[in-house]
């Protein structure tokens, strides 16, 4: 006789675990905004990152939406984190997970912070439509030789989510990044701007294809984009508030030094973005950190307003 196997799990579906307030909000059709954890774990220095996590969630709540910070903890993909879980995300040593790493982290029961790509994938799987971050990953300078193109771009082309960001970091090849977004059929909207923002700077020097001036327009565009059958996400690019913009000369100097440092130290792959951000924070005496915090907070606020509009 075959021994009786009490429960054989055949389904391989892994769905993200929702926090109670995120689950309740989604069930009621209320506004939810996903927040990314790589910017906390690898983009901001500890312990400032922990306060930032709370500030971003508070900014979302202040504008009428429920925040859902996304990460993988003990192999469980989570959408909506408790204070203890945010402590873990902001502590030392968390892996940086892009989409390709999600199955590995789940299969091996690891912890990890999610990038824009991985956050978008998990948020969309949970039914969250709006997501706020700082800057998208993109095509790196010298990508013709290094082939360094962030998986964020492919993820956006295939994931139905609205990403509110301040453009892409000026450390990237902005023109090439915009081209790849076009190839991926990802609409790019400037929020109250005609210029694609450059993260630390309000203007990357490249125009945006379209401009919108209020959250209702974003909601109308999103509904039409999806209604017409597109599977792609949408980029809503908002420049950093003018008062928080990094000084232009300081920015250009740090960028040139930072790129030289990368080459000198042979930094590649997923370490490139965190290393450059850290170089900016150290080299600007904290000015770039203030800029970074201000822009992410403004994006969380705008994302909440868009999510509220979409929940109507
Ligand atoms: N925006 C920030 N800080 C960050 C990042 C974005 O303000 O740290 C992160 C995001 O998680 C983004 C990642 O997905 O950088 C891009 O990394 P890569 O270039 O290795 O794909
Ligand atoms: Mn890369």
Mean pLDDT, the chain, whole residue set? 94
Provide the pLDDT for residue 12: 57
Tell me whether residue 257 is annotated as binding: no
Task: Point out the catalytic residue in the list 57, 169, 270, 297.
Answer: 169
> Residues 85-126: pLDDT tens digits?
999 999 988 999 999 999 999 999 999 999 999 999 999 999
Q: What share of the chain is helix, strand, coil (3-state, %, to 5)?
A: 50, 20, 30
Residues lining ligand 1, Cβ inside 6 A: 36, 38-39, 42-43, 115-116, 133-135, 137, 150-152, 270, 273, 277, 292, 296
For the CA of 36, the closest atom of ligand 1 is 11
For the CA of 114, the closest atom of ligand 1 is 11
Beta bridge partners of 163: 131, 235
Q: What percent of the chain has pLDDT over 90?
A: 90
Ligand nearest to the CA of 275: 1
Nearest-CA residue for ligand 1 atom 5 is 39
Which of the four pLDDT bands, split at 50, 70 and 90, describes residue 8?
Answer: very low
For residue 304, say if its preceding peptide bond is cis, omega within 30 degrees of 0. no
Nearest-CA residue for ligand 1 atom 9 is 39
Lowest mean pLDDT among 31-35, 167-171, 241-245, 308-312: 167-171
Q: Is 297 designated active site? A: no
Decide: 99 and 117 in contact? Cβ < 8 Å: yes
Angle between helices 151-158 and 116-126 (to 10 degrees): 20
φ, ψ at 128 (rounded to 5°): -90, 135
Give the C-alpha separation, 41 to 69, whole Å. Answer: 12
Give the C-alpha separation, 55 to 300, whole Å. Answer: 10
Q: What percent of the chain has pLDDT over 70?
A: 96
Report strand pairing: 76-79 vs 66-73. antiparallel
Q: What is the CATH number of domain 17-311?
A: 3.40.1790.10
> Residues 149-198: pLDDT tens digits?
999 999 999 999 999 999 998 889 999 999 999 999 999 999 999 999 99
Q: Is the pLDDT of residue 11 over 90?
A: no
Tell me whether residue 96 is annotated as binding: yes
φ, ψ at 232 (rounded to 5°): -80, 155
Tell me whether residue 152 is annotated as binding: yes
Give the C-alpha separation, 62 to 183, whole Å. Answer: 36
> Residues 227-236: pLDDT tens digits?
999 999 999 9
Provide the pLDDT for residue 256: 94
Provide the pLDDT for residue 258: 93
Nearest-CA residue for ligand 1 atom 21 is 150
Residues near ligand 2 ion, CB 5 Å cutoff: 148
Q: Is the pLDDT of residue 226 over 90?
A: yes
- As a whole number, mean pLDDT of residues 18-34 equals 98
φ, ψ at 10 (rounded to 5°): -100, -30
Decide: 116 and 106 in contact? Cβ < 8 Å: no
Q: Is 36 designated active site? A: yes
């Amino acid at each position: 006789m075959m021994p009786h196997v009490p429960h054989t799990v055949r389904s391989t579906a892994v769905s993200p675990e929702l926090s109670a307030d995120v689950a309740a909000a989604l069930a009621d059709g209320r506004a939810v905004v996903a927040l990314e954890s790589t910017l906390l774990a690898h983009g901001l220095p500890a312990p400032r990152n922990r306060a930032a996590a709370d500030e971003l969630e508070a900014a979302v709540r202040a504008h009428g939406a429920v925040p859902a910070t996304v990460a993988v903890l003990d192999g469980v993909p989570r959408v909506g984190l408790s204070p203890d879980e945010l402590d873990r995300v902001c502590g030392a040593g968390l892996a940086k997970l892009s989409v390709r790493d999600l199955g590995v982290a789940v299969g091996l029961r690891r912890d990890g912070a999610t990038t824009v790509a991985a956050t978008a994938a998990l948020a969309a799987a949970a039914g969250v439509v709006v997501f706020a971050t700082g800057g998208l990953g993109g095509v790196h300078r010298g990508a013709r030789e290094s082939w360094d193109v962030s998986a964020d771009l492919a993820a956006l082309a295939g994931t139905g989510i609205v990403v509110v960001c301040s453009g892409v970091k000026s450390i990237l090849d902005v023109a090439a990044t915009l081209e790849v977004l076009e190839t991926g059929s990802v609409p790019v909207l400037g929020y109250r701007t005609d210029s694609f923002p450059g993260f630390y700077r309000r203007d990357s020097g490249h125009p945006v294809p379209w401009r919108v001036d209020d959250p209702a327009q974003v909601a109308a565009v999103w509904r039409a984009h999806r209604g017409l059958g597109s599977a792609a996400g949408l980029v809503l690019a908002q420049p950093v508030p003018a008062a928080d913009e990094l000084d232009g000369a300081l920015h250009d100097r740090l960028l040139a030094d930072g790129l030289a440092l990368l080459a000198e130290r042979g930094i590649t792959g997923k370490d490139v973005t965190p290393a450059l951000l850290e170089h900016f924070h150290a080299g600007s005496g904290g000015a770039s950190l203030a800029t970074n915090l201000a822009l992410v907070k403004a994006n969380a606020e705008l994302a909440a307003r868009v999510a509220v509009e979409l929940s109507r």
